[in-house]
């Protein structure tokens, strides 16, 4: 049997105006972070439906991180405030159901914070990797 090296799968939802641009800046400055992080662009962090988060876990993601503009800097003035409330409630609920709290995170990354983006992703990937595979929320049929 071939033993594959364990690599966590991380889905990052980034808002178009701040965090996605922050990720681009990390690229411009060649600040490395694990390739396990895959970014999905959304117009605003408030577009992220809890269903997307759960779907990612279902399909085998090991961690989900949501990045948006810093509170007060939202391109749409208030979107990230709603994100903050929704995700505080959702992540608390996931923790209540026994899903490790290190697998979920909300981080505010501005378009100027390329270094913060890379550092956040490195740190998050490390924490998720330490937990190992997500077995609690995944749908086994989705594993090949």
Residues between 59 and 118 that touch other proteins (CB under 8 A):
59-61, 71-72, 75-79, 81-82, 84-101, 104-106, 118
141 scored as a contact of other proteins (CB under 8 A): yes
**DSSP class of residue 43?**
S
Size of the site for other proteins (CB under 8 A): 75
**Nearest alpha-carbon partner for 61 in 13, 17, 98:** 13
123 scored as a contact of other proteins (CB under 8 A): no
20 scored as a contact of other proteins (CB under 8 A): yes
- List, edge to edge, every strand of the sheet that includes 37-42: 37-42, 10-15, 63-68, 104-108
C-alpha 1/C-alpha 131 separation (Å) is 23
Q: Which is nearer to other proteins, 3 or 29 (CB)?
A: 29
- Which of 8, 18, 19, 23 binds other proteins (CB under 8 A)? It is 23
């Amino acid at each position: 049997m071939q033993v594959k090296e364990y690599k966590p799968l991380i889905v990052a939802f980034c808002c178009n105006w701040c965090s996605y641009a922050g990720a681009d800046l990390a690229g411009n400055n060649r600040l490395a972070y694990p390739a396990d992080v895959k970014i999905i662009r959304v117009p605003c962090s408030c577009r992220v439906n809890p269903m997307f988060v759960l779907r990612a876990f279902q399909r085998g993601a090991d961690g989900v991180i949501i990045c948006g503009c810093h509170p007060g800097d939202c391109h749409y003035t208030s979107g990230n405030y709603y994100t903050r409330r929704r995700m505080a409630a959702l992540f608390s609920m996931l923790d209540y159901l026994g899903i490790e709290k290190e697998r979920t995170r909300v981080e505010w990354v501005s378009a100027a914070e390329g270094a913060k983006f890379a550092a956040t992703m490195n740190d998050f990937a490390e924490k998720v990797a330490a937990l190992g595979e997500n077995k609690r929320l995944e749908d086994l049929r989705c594993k090949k």
